[in-house]
Amino acid sequence: MYKYDSYDQTFVDARVEEFRSQVERRLSGELSEEEFRPLRLVNGLYLQLHAYMLRVAIPYGLLSSEQMRRLAHIARRYDKGYAHFTTRQNIQYNWPKLVETPDILAELASVEMHAIQTSGNVIRNVTTDHFAGAAADEVADPRPYAEIIRQWSTLHPEFGFLPRKFKIAITGAAKDRAAIRWHDIGLIVKEQDGALGFEVVVGGGMGRTPVIGKTIRDFLPEAELLSYLEAILRVYNEQGRRDNKYKARIKILVNEMGEETFRETVESEWKLTRREAINLPENEQRRISAFFKNPPLPVLEDPRFTEAFIAPNFHAWVKHNTDEHKVPGHRMVTISLKPHGGIPGDATADQMDLIAELADTYSHGEIRVSHEQNLILPHVESRQLPALYGALVAAELGTANAGLLTDIIACPGLDYCALANARSIPISQEIAERFDDITRLTDIGELKVKISGCINSCGHHHAGHIGILGVDRKGVELYQIMLGGSGAEDASTGELLGRGFEANKIVDAIETVVAVYLGERQTEERFLDTVRRIGNTPFKEALYGTA
Amino acid sequence: MTRKKNRPALLIANRLDDGIAVFWSPNGWTKKPTLAGYLPDESTQTVAEKSALIDVDNNLVIGPLLVAATLVSGVPSPDHPKYSIQADGPTVIYGEAEYNARSQRHVSNV
């Protein structure tokens, strides 16, 4: 993984001391809250309902075991012994004290981490495929590009005051595991005539106006990445709306200009500036790529696991929670942070320490964080799976539900978030407990449920096969259902079924939706494909009695 | 701050140094919602507001907000779920407590 050089370390250390000074000045009254607020936000520090919340970037979702241990230590020493992995490959602490935040940032800096640009109208943490570098279906490892973009975008002087926040995701695989088309800019690494480059997708986003991003360039040569990104950002920075924050994202600009005009404007800007802009020097690209070489992984035979020595549900766990690695005899293991009845994305400090230990034992010290709020051990020998599974089960981390109905994405919702209108966590817990049966879950198959507690869509409800949106109607939490969304390569926006359900009715409603699917599906047909084939009418009839 | 015209209220804020939700009372800020000052009318709300704004200036609290409230068994309770949750904390147990409770509650078969 990428290692800080002395410049990186000096820079991050300096930021810690700068923030320490800002906090001191705030506490002494030298800075007002109005003056301090933007300073704390660009360091990832929010004020939520009950306390401050610190959002820490996990660049492209990659963590070392040492970093995970430090995150656990921070949870234990400065918070309440747990933390929350988010839908953008970040980790959040829900109870840090302002006075201790500089010390937390110093702890993070000691393991080459920070919280810079995890908030504010800037380019946020660059996200990618959590299987990057290990996936069998990959054209190229996207992480070196993500790191290059991270370095380019961090405190970029031109893009520190964008009209609104800006999110970039990149994948190197045909199967989209990074919700590429839901980002302000999505990049898909492609190979053309033996050369690498990028399909460039722009203007995706969720929030109150869900938009699937549009491809504005089918193939951008690899070396031109930064100059092209700079052209897009420049057009957005100059022409994006600043008069209304609800219309300030790039998706609105693309829509208002029209896709073709936007593309032409970017291309014109690029032609003017590309020679002067920073392109990717080949030696620098090679230097950064070298950090992402996989550990030596011998080609091995895949073992055959007999029933005799296998724990209950092991086969289901292997089927759902492990994926094909590019090196035979290895698997990528998804550690579910969705135990039934638990809080999606939460992990205790002890669990984080255990995962660090398991990463050292089984995965060359490497961990990934997925936007689906799970953790991944990317390089596990298949023959080690029974031992790993046993250790995970003992720590409530062995739930065999990756990609299934109970692998629910949920934002923190009204239990923590100052913006939320309704609670997400209790709904996800109740759904998971209602479907707490491996035979039933396996029969239902792939089904992505995503819950947001408000229209800001941190729970990605627009992209859920079943999306649930919590709304507030005169002080009553109601939950609307939408069907047919997807965050994958077949990206689509879910369609609202009808009026919302009260909290004590929403789980029954989800069960009804699933029953309609089971009654209507054709052989081997996924939930999403059934919805796309039959439309929403049968579901509406079952829920509301009329279409 | 938004005045709660003709509606009783309580005054909620976050403490500056640790961000913890606190409630105005005639005896000072308290973490305990049961000790929050009940502000039944505009005059009591005005007094509380002025007091809170002084504490904002003194860098003790941030974001003071009057929220509609009702007396329940003699204790002021926010009317809106958002502020009830802010007053009482998350409605779900979390961290080690959640882990332990779940482990004891049931054994999942997944």
Q: Tell me if B3 is assigned to some domain.
A: no
| pLDDT at residue number B3 | 53
- Give me chain B's average pLDDT, please: 92
Q: Give me B88's structure tokens.
A: 């009482």
| Residue in A closest to B20 by C-alpha | A51
Residue A190, chain B, CB below 8 Å: the answer is no
CB contact under 8 A, B99 and A396: yes
Domain that holds residue B13: 9-105
Q: Tell me if B67 is assigned to some domain.
A: yes
| pLDDT at residue number A308 | 57
Q: Give me B46's structure tokens.
A: 């005005």
| pLDDT at residue number A309 | 59
Q: Could you tell me the mean pLDDT of each successive run of 10 residues in chain A, 547 residues long?
A: 95 98 97 96 96 98 98 98 97 98 98 96 97 96 97 94 97 97 98 97 96 98 94 97 96 97 97 82 91 96 76 91 97 97 97 98 98 98 96 96 98 97 98 96 97 97 98 96 98 98 98 98 96 98 85
CA distances from A499 to A61, A468, B21 (A): 37, 12, 34
| pLDDT at residue number B103 | 81
What confidence tens digit (pLDDT) does each residue in A52-69 have?
Answer: 999 999 999 999 999 999
CB contact under 8 A, B81 and A399: no
Q: What is the DSSP string of A358-378?
A: HHHHHSTTEEEE-TTS-EEEE
The closest alpha carbon to A256, from A163, A120, A188, A165, belongs to A163
The structural domain count of chain B equals 1
| CA atoms lying within 13 Å on the CB side of residue A81 | 9
Q: Tell me if B4 is assigned to some domain.
A: no
| pLDDT at residue number A311 | 77
SS3 A417: coil
Q: Tell me if B2 is assigned to some domain.
A: no
The amino acid present at A12, given as its one-letter code, is: V
Residues of A in contact with B106 (CB under 8 A): 341, 436
| pLDDT at residue number A159 | 96
Q: Tell me if B40 is assigned to some domain.
A: yes
Place of tokens 């009591």: B44
Q: Tell me if B110 is assigned to some domain.
A: no
Q: Tell me if B69 is assigned to some domain.
A: yes
The closest alpha carbon to A132, from A167, A91, A170, belongs to A170
Is-contact A274 A229, C-beta < 8 A? no
CB contact under 8 A, A477 and B81: yes
Residue A400, chain B, CB below 8 Å: the answer is yes
| pLDDT at residue number A281 | 83
Backbone angles phi, psi at A140, to 5 degrees: -155, 155
| pLDDT at residue number A52 | 98
Determine the Cα–Cα distance for residues A176 and A325; give it in Å rounded to an integer.
16
Place of tokens 């370095």: A151
| pLDDT at residue number A45 | 98
Q: Is the pLDDT of residue B108 over 90?
A: no
**B17 vs A97, A313, A316: nearest CB:** A97
**Angle at Cα A200 formed by Cα A279 and Cα A44, nearest 5°?**
75
CA distances from A249 to A163, A259, A436, A515 (A): 7, 15, 40, 38
Determine the Cα–Cα distance for residues A469 and A454; give it in Å rounded to an integer.
6
Determine the Cα–Cα distance for residues B84 and B88; give it in Å rounded to an integer.
6
- Give me chain A's average pLDDT, please: 96
Question: pTM (2 decimals)?
Answer: 0.96
The mean per-residue pLDDT over the stretch B38-67 comes to: 96
ipTM of the complex: 0.94
| pLDDT at residue number B53 | 97
Q: Tell me if B1 is assigned to some domain.
A: no
| pLDDT at residue number B2 | 54
